[in-house]
Amino acid sequence: GINVDKPPFDNNKVRHAIRYGIDIDAIIAGAWSGTVSRAKTLLAPQLLGHWADAPVYPYDPAKAKALLEEAGATDLKCTLTCLNDARTQAEAQIVQANLAEAGVTVSINAMDPGAYWDLGTPDKSKDLELTIIPYSSKTDPGFQTQWFVSSQVTIWNWQRWKNPEFDKLHAEAGSITDPEERAKKYIRMQQLLDESASCIWITHGVHDFAHAKSLVPAILPNGNNWQYRFFKPA
């Protein structure tokens, strides 16, 4: 996530430069041991409204450096805030090394979960620059898009990106049941996010579960919570 209110990240060219300056494939190989696939947009392929034709931005430090020069943001220094678990810190270190190739000096601020998530307290996030943000989501696309509406700025929209069209589409898509019409709105919302270059997608992740063959397990729709009281014999 990139804070669009924080100079020089209020310049779209700088945000595009950061996007070209990060090697997502290296993050997946180095921090995830190649166990997940690359995300190219907000909604995962299995979800209603997945944008199948979303662009994939290649790692191109030369292009990143050129965009920074065009924006007058050479010798850029910034802070990348993240959780302090091993995988996230590995992601951050790869980002740090990648952006150094584009002439960007990144300091890593790895925080304990309590302090990190406390940034959701109204406006504690206003001074963030770059942030690695994990989302745990459910199967309805509206659960994902809600974190990017304007009313979430100061709370969970740490990119601080505001777009009236996005807000309108989010409300409309949540009020209709026609899946084709909903899908069109969610695709357009993802296009607006892409144009903003406020987010750089890494992966949709994966959850693995193991259970005895004698059981039929019960799992919540978000895929990461066992519901033991609803287990049944196979």
Cα dihedral 3→193→168→127 (10° resolution):
0
Q: Residue 209: which of 230, 228, 226 has the closest Cα? A: 226
Q: How far lies 33's CA from each of 28, 62, 90, 169, in Å?
A: 6, 26, 11, 37
CA distances from 129 to 15, 108, 126, 180 (A): 11, 11, 9, 37
d(CA 143, CA 140): 6
What are the 10-residue block averages of pLDDT along the chain, 234 residues in total? 98 98 98 96 96 98 98 97 98 98 98 97 96 90 97 97 98 97 98 98 87 87 76 92
Burial of 230 (0-12, 13-18, 19+ CB in 10 A): exposed
pLDDT given at position 220: 77
pLDDT at site 207: 76
Q: Identify the residue whose tokens are 């993050």.
A: 27
Predicted local confidence at residue 222, as pLDDT: 67
User: Of 55, 80, 105, whose CA–CA distance to 158 is shortest?
Assistant: 80
Task: Give the pLDDT score at 223.
Answer: 66
